[in-house]
Amino acid sequence: MKRGCIIAIDGPSGAGKSTVSQELARRLNYLYLDTGAMYRAAALQAKRLGVSWDDPQELARMCAKLEIDLVLKKGKPCTLLFGEDVSEAIRMPEMSMGASRVSAQQPVREKLWELQRRIGREGGIVAEGRDIGTVVFPEAECKFYLDATPEVRARRRCEELRGKGLAVDYTSTLEEVQKRDRDDQQRALAPLRPAPDAVIIDSTDLTPDEVVEVLLRVVAEAAGRLR
């Protein structure tokens, strides 16, 4: 018996998916599934092994032994790579581009799809990423596509990194955001796009709490239809 709905939240980098997904999961008492963290962890492992992010054969060998887990530590989501907490290491700017590149490789996608579906098969999850509603959980009861202008997303990214004590340049960050968008949207395998039945939300002028309230209303309506 399923524990609850599967809620899929897709969208580009910096749209606010992580913030609102975590809060939505908290309010619903659901599991939070951060698929982006899993791709970042895969990119980190490839870097540690000296494996090119663009080499499908070597990545396939790496994925055969890859162990990634998502856990809660003191109420906070953490990403484990072979049991090591790499939550901070995977948030470095380089890992953002690394995640985009390894995610274009079929061996990585297939391995992580397998792990993600295993985690979410019983429902009661809020899963966020770039292909949740289109590929990972096309059967999800609630699908959202969260977006914002590239300029706003770059500003949010700068604020996040500066909050961690890193020196970042807005212009360079904007260029990285735009390149990431192109890479994600143009890749042949599971490109970034809204699911046909997704509710599209522009968060450019909305606070995270306002976005969460919109999501909660849609989820409540869906739950009513499923009764």
- The per-residue pLDDT for range 109-159, each reduced to its tens digit, is 999 999 999 988 888 999 999 999 999 999 999 999 999 999 999 999 999
Closest CA to 156 of 203, 199, 192: 203
Match 């791709």 to its residue by tokens. 39
pLDDT score, position 174 = 96
pLDDT higher than threshold 90 for residue 222: no
Per-residue confidence at 226, pLDDT binned at 50, 70, 90?
A: low
**What is the sign, positive or negative, of the torsion defined by CA atoms of 96, 98, 104, 109?**
negative
Per-residue confidence at 73, pLDDT binned at 50, 70, 90?
A: confident
Give 111's Cβ-side CA count (13 Å radius): 23
Q: Parse the chain into domains and list their residue ranges.
A: 6-210
Match 């849609």 to its residue by tokens. 218
Give me the residues paired with residue 85 across strands: 80
Mean pLDDT throughout 87-101? Answer: 92
Q: Does domain 6-210 have CATH number 2.70.170.10?
A: no
pLDDT higher than threshold 80 for residue 223: no
